């Protein structure tokens, strides 16, 4: 502590800390979406194109006709950009970010029914993020 006290009140740091928190939250969510796309099995690309990001409330939508022409192990940039844009509209630091897959067969893929994703997609992404960031991601 500086002699004579702080040069500014500690509460002045709150907006800075909140902004840093939002940036880190968005970085982790964007990285999670990227990992999910990398790990998605690709037949017609419908599964890869249906990972949904939502902030505050769950997005329960899906599109059976949505497809991705990007090969397995890559990112569908159009879908990625569409979903990540949702993060930029929400700057409240303590709002929950959901990333989910709502296709009717998504649970089967997560349970290993696809040879392309035998270990699941969300479980593998969560494991990678836990290794990088720690905690209970």
Give CA–CA dist 97/58, Å, rounded: 8
Give CA–CA dist 42/63, Å, rounded: 15
Once rounded to an integer, what is the mean pLDDT over residues 89-107? 92
Is the per-residue pLDDT at 97 higher than 80?
yes
Once rounded to an integer, what is the mean pLDDT over residues 21-44? 94
Q: Is 33 exposed, middle or buried (0-12, 13-18, 19+ CB in 10 A)?
A: buried
Average pLDDT, the chain: 89
**Residue 109 pLDDT level (bands cut at 50, 70, 90):** very high
Task: Tell me phi and psi for residue 83, to 5 degrees.
Answer: -75, -40
Give CA–CA dist 135/137, Å, rounded: 6
Is the per-residue pLDDT at 4 higher than 90?
no
pLDDT in tens, 68-79: 777 777 888 999
**Which range among 5-14, 34-43, 105-114 shows the weakest confidence by mean pLDDT?**
5-14
Sign, CA torsion 125/131/136/137: negative
- What residue spans define the domains of the chain? 15-130
Residue 99, SS3? strand
Once rounded to an integer, what is the mean pLDDT over residues 86-96? 88
**Model pLDDT, residue 10:** 81
């Amino acid at each position: 502590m500086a002699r004579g006290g702080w040069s500014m009140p500690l509460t002045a740091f709150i907006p800075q800390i909140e902004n840093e928190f939002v940036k880190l939250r968005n970085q982790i969510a964007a990285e999670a979406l990227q990992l999910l796309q990398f790990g998605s099995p690709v037949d017609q690309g419908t599964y890869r194109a249906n990972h949904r990001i939502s902030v505050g409330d769950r997005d329960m939508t899906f599109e059976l006709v949505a497809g991705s022409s990007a090969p397995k192990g890559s990112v569908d940039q159009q879908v990625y950009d569409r979903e990540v844009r949702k993060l930029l509209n929400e700057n409240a630091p303590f709002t929950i970010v959901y990333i989910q897959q709502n296709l009717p067969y998504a649970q089967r893929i997560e349970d290993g029914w696809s040879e392309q994703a035998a270990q699941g997609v969300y479980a593998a992404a969560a494991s990678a993020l836990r290794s990088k960031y720690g905690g209970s991601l």
